[in-house]
Amino acid sequence: MSDIVMVTGSTSGIGKAIAELLAKNGFRVIVTGRRKERIEELVDELKLKHNCSITGLSFDITNKDEVYDAIDSLPEEWRNIDILINNAGLASGLDPIYEGDLNDWEIMIDTNIKGLLYISRKVTKGMIERQKGQIINIGSIAGREVYPSGNVYNATKHAVDAITKAMRIDLLKYKIRVSQVAPGLVKTEFSEVRFHGDTERAEQVYQGYEPLQAIDIAEAVHFVITRPEHVNINDMLIMPTAQANSYNIDKKIEELW
């Protein structure tokens, strides 16, 4: 039987690309996110395109009861999750620390740190019982260095880096592999969400150079989960060729953010 993979945040961007690539390659995929209609559409679309085994769960990862109830609601044949891809996440706002909106801060901490912890706590239980499993946390270049006005988002992605390392230690004796895949700039709905729906400002983030596409990260995740069982890729930092770090981007237009 093929491995069951749960991809959090698969209604758009990186998560959606991971779900499609894995479904196409024969994995059994559970797609998740808050937007129920998008999940239903994606399940139908991927079944039609790839004749794959796929199901969907809609829940808000910041609500621990919803997370636990959703996992408990999985039919028997979907319960044994072999691979968890902790991808759901967001930036909300880009303001200096003295002007930051407290709601933005809370949503980032609740989603990127607490949400990742809730689902990992729930899913690792079964992995430990079966002594089999793999967890991939989607980190970020923002978790390796800080940049102006990135403050709380940077902190949450540094937390993902720390949690990844901590998980690897705690799960070592259960043979559960833990990896981090950390991208630089990827063109998704990320900036639209960060700028609260300001599509023009979001578009500017990706102008003047070639950003990564979601499929670039999906291919890396596919590589990580297809290594032999004795091999673990601890960490991958993947950048657009035009981006050296958070500050140095070879933009062919005037710097806009």
Contacts with ligand NDP by CB under 6 A lie at 9-15, 33-35, 38, 60-62, 87-90, 111, 115, 138, 140, 183, 185-186, 188-190, 193
Quick check: 185 binds ligand 8X3 (CB under 6 A)? yes
Half-sphere exposure of 124 (CA within 13 A, CB side): 20
Select the binding partner of residue 89 from ligand NDP, ligand 8X3, none (C-beta < 5 to 8 A, by kind): ligand NDP
Select the binding partner of residue 246 from ligand NDP, ligand 8X3, none (C-beta < 5 to 8 A, by kind): ligand 8X3
Quick check: 151 binds ligand 8X3 (CB under 6 A)? no
Q: Measured from the CB atom, is 58 or 175 closer to ligand NDP?
A: 58
Per-residue x/- marks for ligand 8X3, 204-223, CB under 6 A? --------------------
Least gap, CB of 82 to ligand 8X3 (angstroms): 27
Catalytic residue among 153, 174, 206, 247: 153
Quick check: 142 binds ligand 8X3 (CB under 6 A)? yes
Q: Measured from the CB atom, is 148 or 172 closer to ligand NDP?
A: 148
Q: Which of 140, 156, 180, 204 binds ligand 8X3 (CB under 6 A)?
A: 140
Q: Which of 17, 141, 176, 218 binds ligand 8X3 (CB under 6 A)?
A: 141
153 belongs to the catalytic site? yes
- Using CA atoms, how far apart are residues 103 and 96, in angstroms rounded to an integer? 14
Residue nearest to ligand 8X3 (CB): 140
Q: What does the H/E/C string look like for the chain? A: CCCEEEECCCCCHHHHHHHHHHHHCCCEEEEEECCHHHHHHHHHHHHHHHCCCEEEEECCCCCHHHHHHHHHCCCHHHCCCCEEEECCCCCCCCCCCCCCCHHHHHHHHHHHHHHHHHHHHHHHHHHHHHCCEEEEEECCHHHCCCCCCCHHHHHHHHHHHHHHHHHHHHCHHHCEEEEEEEECCEECCHHHHHCCCCHHHHHHHCCCCCCEEHHHHHHHHHHHHCCCCCCCCCEEEECCCCECCCCCECCCCCCCC
Binding site for ligand 8X3 (CB under 6 A): 140-142, 150, 185, 246
Residues marked active site are found at 153
